[in-house]
Amino acid sequence: MSDTLQLAEQLISRHSLTPQDEGCLEIIGARLARLGFQLEMMRHGDVDNLWARRGDAAPIVCFAGHTDVVPTGPLDKWNSDPFTPTIRDGLLYGRGAADMKGSLAAFVTAIEKFVTANPQHQGSIALLLTSDEEGVAVDGTVRVVETLQQRGERIDYCIVGEPTSVSQCGDTIKNGRRGSLSGVLTVKGVQGHIAYPHLVKNPIHMAAPAIAELAATVWDEGNEYFPPTSWQISNMHGGTGATNVVPGTVEIVFNFRHSTASTTDSLKSRVHAILDKHKLDYDLAWEISGKPYLTPHGDLVDAVSAAIRQVTGISTELSTSGGTSDGRFIADICPQVIELGPLNATIHKLNECVAVADLDTLSDIYHGTLTRLLGK
């Protein structure tokens, strides 16, 4: 049994349902401490966070991830207990195997191998780990980043261990993510009896032309790395429940997934202009859950790509698809952020699993990246 597999099994056996850590950080921290890492626990609310660093010079290479996992779903639908790591047909089963305890184990063993061979390595190695990524994500990575900002600390390169691979370990790197901007729009009308249309103002009817224009608007054309920005309604609520009453308001919940070709301010401004053009009486509350970020070809992308090619023989692809990750917070203090992890086919599903062989492959890729960025 490899060290990476053994550590992955240790972590999977912990019932770390978000936002609980259940001792995962303690297991990882003990191994890092033996390598000379300085450990700093940062607890916020019910969330455990760890900032660990070895070295005090630049550049800083940071590995980032989370110990928390999503709920298991019906236990009787699993082929084995989700918190009892089980190997069948070359696959390691358990909640968090792919998302992302396998990556965490690979982080640690890659660092151990590198530090053993390079005890006087240049620069610094860091880990930023949280137990609040799968949940509301308000007391996790974002809090650690705020603390580092307040202290004037920055990161040069960051690898987030999210499962990014599609068909083969290492075939896809996420070198950016779209931003997420949500709005809750309340259009106001005049409630009344449906049989007296001259005495009411139907907010649904009033909002319809504006909705049509918003849906048809081309917000941007995207760019080399991102698809065009999209605007989608997720929920619409109006009415009193009675069939003979025109509602006084309608609530429309929408979301932008936007590229770096648009800013949050530009999108907000254009939405307000359309609503005002249609002379609506409305309230609009905005929420930014993630800003877009992008890491083009450079030191980090090139180092990771070269390591993947050396270990697997394949040429990796760059992608910005998918939802948000904690990379959106780290990008505030780090100019180069990428995500690389195992296959994502089973994440959040019943019988989540990762190929046993991919754990060591991933560790070797992380080690190769460290060697290229910090080795002598």
Catalytic residues, by residue number, are 68, 133
Nearest CA among 269, 286, 290 for reference residue 184: 286
Element (H, E) at 10: helix 3-12
**Contacts with 178 (C-beta within 8 Å, 6 or more apart), sequence order:** 226, 229, 257, 258, 259, 292, 320, 324
Q: Which runs of E-coded beta strand occur in the chain?
A: 38-44, 47-54, 60-66, 86-88, 91-93, 124-130, 157-160, 172-174, 176-177, 179-188, 192-193, 230-238, 245-246, 249-258, 282-290, 293-294, 317-319, 336-339, 353-355
Composition of the chain by helix, strand, coil, percent to 5: 30, 30, 40
Q: Which of 170, 33, 23, 9 is nearest to 112 (CA)?
A: 33
Identify the CA nearest to 61 among candidates 123, 148, 104, 15: 123
CB hemisphere CA count around 352 (13 angstroms): 28
The alpha carbon dihedral of 346, 348, 349, 351 has a sign of positive
Residue type at position 288: I
The whole-angstrom separation of Cα 64 and Cα 339 is 9
Residue 187: φ, ψ to 5°: -95, 130
Contacts of 45 (CB under 8 A, 6+ apart): 19, 139
